[in-house]
Every structure is written in structure tokens, then in C-alpha cells.
Amino acid sequence: MEPATEHPGPPPSSSRRSVVRTALLVLVLVGLVVGGLRSWWLSRPNVDELLESAEAAMRWKEFRDAQRLATSAARRAPERADAWWLAGQAAGQRGAFEDAVRLYDRNPDNGSPVSRVADSRAAAAELLLYRLHRAEDAERQFRAALIIDSDHASAGRGLSVLLAISGRRREAVRWIRKRIEAGDVTADELNMLDA
């Protein structure tokens, strides 16, 4: 048997070079990842750009894309009533009525433009009444819209129709009269007064 020969390890200086190379490689990779993430973050569209794209998708009747874009904008800026409104509109247009009601309900009523919040409540109520056939929920939404904006035409009109078809014509008359006073009454509403 031959005596075992020991293989000497690399000289200490080459071991240090290897560690330094590895550390430099790791630093370069981390720098590339951080730089790439920063570049991606800075190139992301802002809320207004997302809403512009969502509006364009609505014009092209690409309602799923419009909903995705508007919802993304709304999640980035939850105080933006216009984003929740547009997301709800897109969901409603594509027939996702439950989603639309949920999105309209997310519309903040603190500091948002009053008209957009009332519009959201009225739009949710119309979907609840005419598409989902949930009259009680619709009535709550119509009334919520009217609390926000007592002159909201769509909410007042919707509530008067709901009350009339629910056999509560006397209650409906109040809202029909309000539409008459505003000069915004339909023949159907006037006919409800005769019934």
C-alpha cells in the first residue's frame, strides 16, 4: 500500500479571491433585481392612466378589461369615487350584477364628490331592483342615494317606481311630486298619480 498523499488545499489567497468573486456576483445580482423592480415600479401606470385605459376599454365594449383596470385604479386610490363608479359600470355592462353592486358599495362617501356617490347608490339600487329582484335591498340603496342628494333624479324616480309596484302608491306620490317640481317627470310617473 502506498502512503496516502494529502492534497493540499488551495492557497489562502485563491480562497479569498473566490469569496470576493462570489460576494461581487451576489451584489451585482441584487443590484440587477433591485434596479429591475425599481424600473418596473416606476413604469407602472398611475391611477389616472389606468382610468383612461378603462374608459377606452368601455368605449370598445371590452367590459372585462375595463373592470379590471378600473378596479386596479380603485384599489390603488380607494378614495377615488370615479374609479369605483367606473368599475361598477363595467361589471354591470358585462352582466356581473353582484360584482357591480359590490363595487358601487365600495364607493366612499367621505370626501368624494356627492353626485358620484349618490350615482353609485342609485346604480346599485337599479341593479338590485331590475336585475337581481331584491326590492328591499334596492329600497335601502335608493334611500341612501336620496340621503346623500335629496334631489337625485334617478334615485327619486327609482324609489317611486319601487314603491308603486310594491303597492305603496301613497308613498310613491311624494317622490313623483318632487320630480314634477323639478320639471323632470315622465308620463308613466304622471299615470301613477291617477292610479
Torsion of CA 125, 130, 132, 133, to 10 degrees: 100
pTM: 0.74
- Name, of 23-27, 48-52, 111-115, the range with top average pLDDT: 48-52
CATH code of the region 115-195: 1.25.40.10
| SS3 labels along 97-111 | HHHHHHHHHCCCCCC
Q: 71-119 pLDDT, tens per residue? A: 999 999 999 999 999 999 999 999 999 999 999 999 887 666 678 899 9
Query: For domain 46-108, is the CATH number 1.25.40.10?
Result: yes
Q: Where in the chain is the domain with CATH 1.25.40.10?
A: 46-108, 115-195
Mean pLDDT confidence for 123-129: 98
Of 70, 64, 65, 66, the residue nearest 83 (C-alpha): 70
